[in-house]
Structure 1
Amino acid sequence: MKINKKIWFITGISSGLGKALAEAVIESGDFVIGTFRTQQQTDSFNRLHQEKAFAVTLDITKTKEIETVFNTIKNTFTNVDFLVNNAGYGLAGAIEETSLKEVRDIFEANFFGTLQVTQTFLPLFRQQKSGHIIQISSHGGFKAFAGFGIYNASKFALEGFSEALATEIAPLGIKLTIVEPGPFRTNFAGNSLKQAKKIIDEYRPTAGIFREKLSAVDGKQEGDPKKAAHAIIDITKIEKPPLRLPLGKIAIVSLKTKIDNVKKDLEDYTAVAESTIFHN
């Protein structure tokens, strides 16, 4: 199918930032291929957006589903301009409170699923000699918080491979941007948030307080998803887009705090670091 529009593939458009981005892209005149977890959602979206967008059912934690969806896209559309890896979820809980199953489950979505979707699209982008990969991370993918460590780890892993990938694909004409939103007024801190089943009293002053803050802020976050969507669209129009795009005032504070802390450690312990090398 030949479409004389830019084509976006966006995972997880049922709610939150993914939904806001899909709507903004459609309004801009570009074409969206979006994913939902249920066939009912997919069918409803397709009835509503005929010729403007196309939805598919996909669970990114299932390898065969990713391959099937990609083959459908490749056989239906001539090209894809933007890949937005948005699907994923949050998990609150202290490190000790979180079971290995809970850890593995969130990594399947936030890391392994996103990694496979990225790897699956790369041959197409290499063939096109173009494309822009947009990884939806978090300010928590750059700075960790007590009570959110496993989620932080999943997003740190996402950012780690994405930072390396950006360097690998730049000579091939492919771009990559890591988006790091702070708190936005979505369902992230509400129905979409999972919590470790185990609670240990000793962690109430740290992880426990974090859980309470997440619940209290739900629906009151500073970030506007519609404005975030337009910010993401805007950076796709830049010849040399940023590797990282923080969104929101809190995200800026988080990144600056982490940078300042790392800088202080470097300054304070440079002599110790240099003392460990061989001297001829």
Structure 2
Amino acid sequence: MTTQTWIITGASRGFGRALAEAALEAGDRVVAAVRRPESVADLQAAHPDDCMVAEFDVREVAAAPGLVRDTLDRFGQIDVLVNNAGRAVVGAVEEVGDAQLRELMELHLFGPAALVRAALPAMRGRGFGTIVQMSSQGGRMSFPGVSTYSASKFALEGWSESLAGEVAPFGIRVLIVEPSRFRTGFNGAGVLEFAEASETYRDVLAGVRADMAGTDGRQEGNPKRAAEIIVYLAHAEEVPLRLPLGREAVERISGVHRRGLQEVERWAEIARSADFADAPASVRPI
């Protein structure tokens, strides 16, 4: 395989750490972009020539060009950009405040968008690149208690789908990864945030809170295997736009598509009646 250079945000643990390890094991080079450089010091020590550690907070959008510049100075190219850093807030819409909602939008949309914009000129210049957006099955479906998380991931997916069409002519691919539950520490204490429960929604969200808090260490997904799949795809000739990852993600996202189509078909006649009767059918370039 051709050696590729990766930038991976949130590489200190979970999917990011597994991806960094898998890419290095495949003979690639990795820039581990983390808030705490000491958290990946062992990776750098084990791969001094192929691993660079960069102190980086995704939410600091002004730092994105510097990370790209440092990567190019060290390795001369960027082949794969992985926007992985993220976390979740659990709570009803009325329980989660503006500050928490804005923070997740900064972490899951504005930060990744800034890093993509910074990396694209170098990718376009070489006519090659893969942008991996770590979304979630929660980026295609939602349920009570996760509105804040899903809002940020839905936004990332819509932004990325448009991006994919814009950069394809330049040889750049976009891969949106939609995992189900993996043993990444995502549900661990100190990582998963719970909004203060209100009397109004305490019983409504009791099951969701218990499920989200009680699943750490029991998730079905294997992060190491997930990372191997993503590294394989980064080196493959073709990548899907969206990749549900894990059995649950495949089944639940498939179900969402089926139910959505059924709902469209059920209301199609009344929906079509909203058009002017004498208007010609729409003709669009896309």
- TM-score bracket for the superposition, by shorter chain length: over 0.9
Equivalent pair of 1:35/1:42 in contact (CA under 8 Å): no
The 3-state SS of whatever aligns with 1:227 is helix
Between the two proteins, what is the percent identity of the paired residues? Answer: 37
Residue 193 (str. 1) matches residue 176 (str. 2): no
Which deviations, in whole Å up to 9, do the C-alpha atoms of 1:73-102 show, x marking residues without a partner? 122221111111101111111111001011
Taking only aligned residues, the RMSD between alpha carbons, in angstroms, comes to 1.4
AA of the residue aligned to 1:169:
V
CA distance in 2 between partners of 1:207 and 1:279 (Å): 46
Which deviations, in whole Å up to 9, do the C-alpha atoms of 1:228-254 show, x marking residues without a partner? 011111222332210011111110122
**Residues 1-280 of structure 1 aligned to structure 2 (within 5 Å):** 5-41=3-39, 43-190=41-188, 191-196=190-195, 198-280=196-278
Which deviations, in whole Å up to 9, do the C-alpha atoms of 1:117-168 show, x marking residues without a partner? 1111111111111101010000000001211111000000000000011011
CA distance in 2 between partners of 1:189 and 1:232 (Å): 22
The 3-state SS of whatever aligns with 1:154 is helix
Shift of 1:35: 1.1
TM-score (norm 1): 0.94
TM-score (norm 2): 0.92
CA distance in 1 between partners of 2:274 and 2:130 (Å): 42
The 3-state SS of whatever aligns with 1:159 is helix
CA distance in 1 between partners of 2:84 and 2:37 (Å): 19
Shift of 1:43: 4.7
Uncovered stretches (5+) of structure 2, i.e. residues with no partner: 279-286
Equivalent pair of 1:25/1:233 in contact (CA under 8 Å): yes
The alpha-carbon distance between structure 1 residues 278 and 166, as it changes in their structure 2 partners (threshold 3 A), is same
Q: Count matched residues.
A: 276
Uncovered stretches (5+) of structure 1, i.e. residues with no partner: none
